[in-house]
Chains A and B, each alone.
Chain A
């Protein structure tokens, strides 16, 4: 399997622009997670889906952030409008819920820079 795929790997945008991050989970996995990593706050869970349904979005910082999972093989995280404080590495991870220990497989991340 190719693992979790994220695109783009790097994104540089100007404040106020819309940013869309994409994720393709491992085939057959039924959980998908979006994380944000910064030096100041470490790794934060933003939202996770089970069978394409958002289960917990309490980590989403504010209404500028939205996430969708239209099908089992694709998810997006959108920031509109973007702000400099959104600069971070965004990770997508997936897991198979039927495995009792729910190990998560992480993608390579998208490094977002908002100027």
Chain B
């Protein structure tokens, strides 16, 4: 079945850039997503990218997609303490089957 993998932890210093990586196995993925989960809250959609795109930028967020390698990354520029959270990568096929990764816990150090 489909699988989405992420590293579980990332620590960065405030003001640095964060890069969170994700790999997926489903070659029929149509959309790929990044969600953010803060403590005690639900998942919040940050951004998404269509599978025929290579890059998408939205303010401090840059998503890069390498479809050949099935690799997705999320870059957060000028990382702030408020960015500390768990970040989930997810992919969707042609149906409604969403598969989420295990999440990467981002810790921002002062």
Contact = CB atoms under 8 A, between A and B. Distances in A.
B42 interface: yes
B58 to A, nearest CB: 13
Contacts, number: 46
Q: Place the interface of chain B in its size category.
A: 20 to 34
The size class of the interface chain A forms with chain B is 20 to 34
B35 to A, nearest CB: 8
A42 B97 CA distance: 16
A91 B97 CA distance: 16
Interface in B18-71: 31, 33, 35, 40-45, 48, 50
User: Mostly helix, strand, loop or mixed at chain B's interface?
Assistant: strand
Interface string A71-115: 000000000000000000001010001000111111111000000
A45 B31 CA distance: 17
A92 to B, nearest CB: 9
Contact of B45 (A45, A48, A103, A107): A103
Interface of B: 31, 33, 35, 40-45, 48, 50, 88, 92, 96-98, 100-103
Given A43-B88, A93-B43, 19 more contacts: A42-B100, A42-B101, A43-B100, A45-B98, A48-B96, A50-B96, A55-B96, A56-B96, A56-B97, A91-B43, A101-B31, A102-B31, A102-B92, A102-B96, A103-B45, A103-B48, A104-B98, A106-B44, A109-B42
